[in-house]
Structures are given as C-alpha cells and as structure tokens.
A and B are shown apart, each in its own frame.
Chain A
C-alpha cells in the first residue's frame, strides 16, 4: 500500500506534521489570541492599588483559582454572581483567572456581593466559622495569634472557639492584601 511515498520518507512525515500543526496553531491559537488581546477595556475598572496587586499574587500562590472562577456566563444560574463577563473585564489581568471549576462560588464580583473586610478575614482564618459546611482550606499561616493586639494591627474578629483561648487573631500582611484583592473584584458597570 502506498501513501504517496510518504510511508518510506521519515523527513516528509515529520515536515508535514510540523507544518500542519504549526499552521493550525497559528489559525486556532496565536491569531485569535492576538485579536482578543486587542480588545480595549469595556469600562474603566477601579484601578488596583499595590496592596491589592500583592493580594492577587497571594491568590495565585494559594491556587484559589482552581476552585473559584472569575467568569460569569450569560446563563440564569450565573446571575447571582454578576453580569455576564466581557473580554474587556480581563484587560491587564496577567493571567486572567476565568477558571474551569466551581468547587466554590464565582468571585468575579465578590467585592460587591460581600464587601465586609471582617467577614473575609474570619472566612480566610476559619471558613467553617462563617459557612459551617464549607470545605475551603483555612489559611491560618497568614495570621498570628497574639495575647493582645498592638497599634496598627488588623484583628480578625473570629468567634470564640475558632481561636486559641485568650488570644486575638491578627491578620498578617498577606491576609490583608488578599482581602484587599477580593474587595477589589467588582465588575465595572457597562452601558446597556
């Protein structure tokens, strides 16, 4: 059986494979990506300050995006999370964290839905103190238990039973930055 001589020519097989795959890569990945990249912001989002930017790195470091999407679809079940996401929402996000799993709820607009700093601090220290059935990890390594809060300390007002007795829970810089980031997640308004 002959396939145009290809079956005896390893160079031709490899060349054909490389060329076809590269062309398809160009057409299906690189060129569409360039086009998407060119989209301008749909609206001006609140600029993120440097602390929130540090918080975004904590969010990445802890792999939060493996369980939490930032991607609202135009489907009825996604309405609690905000308006449908637009390409412009992700301008300047490196990387954009749309996500593929919702083991926890979507966070695209969490700063609007849950604007309380205290709630987020408690939730990060002990998720089950605020949502008993939650399976989220407790990020205790970003907090310190102190006998009493010093000046300038941000205290996570955790309920009794969550913290070692007689101690106050003080948020470390990463916890504060992470909360700052979460509060910055607000979908910019778009004109209808």
Chain B
C-alpha cells in the first residue's frame, strides 16, 4: 500500500499513457472491420478467404507480431505506432468475424421487406442491416476492447509506456504491490471501457432495451461470447 501512495504520480502517468494506447485500436478496428465484414458476408468465397486470414492473423502471438511488424511498417519496435498498429490488427482479426456474423444474423425476410419498400443497396446496408446487426457488433467490440486493454501491457516488454511497465519494473525490483497495482488497474480500465461501450450501445440502439430482441440475434451473441 505504501508503494502505491509513494508512486501515485508515476501510476497516473502510466494510466493515461495506457488509455491513449488502447483507445485508438478499438475505434480503428471497429471502423475498418465494417467494409471487410460486409465483403466477408457478401460472397461465399470471400467469406472463407477473409475469415481464414483473420483466424491466422489472430493466431500470431502478440510479442512476435510486435517484433515482426517493423519490417512492414518501417516504424521502430519501441514506438507507440508499432503497438497501435499491432493491436489494431488483432482487433480487426476479431471484429471482422463479428461483423460478418452480425450481418448474417439479419433476417432475410427483413431484407426482402426493405427492398420491397424501395431501399437501395447502400441505404439498406446503413439503415437496415447495420443497425440490426448492432447487438452482435456490440458483443464483438466488447471482446476487442477487453483484449486490447490487456494486450497493451505486453508493449512494456519492449519499453513502451503503459500499465505493463508496472509489471516489468515490479519484477526487476521485486515489488509485488507494484505488479498487483498494474493487474488491478488494467482490469479496471477494461471494465470502464466496457461500461462506456455498453452505454454507447444503449444510446445508439434504444430498441434493444426492450428485451424482445429476436432470439436468433441473441443466440448468435451467446455463441459469440463463448467461442470468441
């Protein structure tokens, strides 16, 4: 406890750095995954190819990815950009599947009705399919957010400022309190991100508050949460 009191400044700095690093990848992966997820859902062939690539990307362990990435990006290993790009890649790898699953969960009858009412392809996507896929997207981005916040700490091994530095520093100096502080704060940040995302989801999708959401969508979300 003493350690925390004596080091609040440093903890605060690392916390802010951590928020800054984790925030961007979550947003980026959500936005980038929409067109890719659409493409994955649109054609049978592209679905297989894209989802396989995403599966493989997600299979690459985080530390090795951060070391291999500079070859492609030209950024230094120890830069924030390197970490942000790496985390975004993981985010996309997870989120594309959710986006594709979400779009696939929209009832075909509803799509037919939308077409019958005169929606063009584009406006049908933005105004009918995407909002109805919303709950599945929400479930997906929650998973992305939690894993991004926790993965951000790995950057500390390379010397990138984040809460993970409390782990590396704590190990070197043998201070357990420091490491526990890092673990607890990381989980708290993950929870806060999660709460914010859920709130945004409630605001954007007021209809989901009425818990008569289609069973089909709910089931997709449930399997998504267990298998993701």
Answer whether A and B are interacting partners: no
Give me the interface of A with B, judged by CB distance under 8 Å.
none
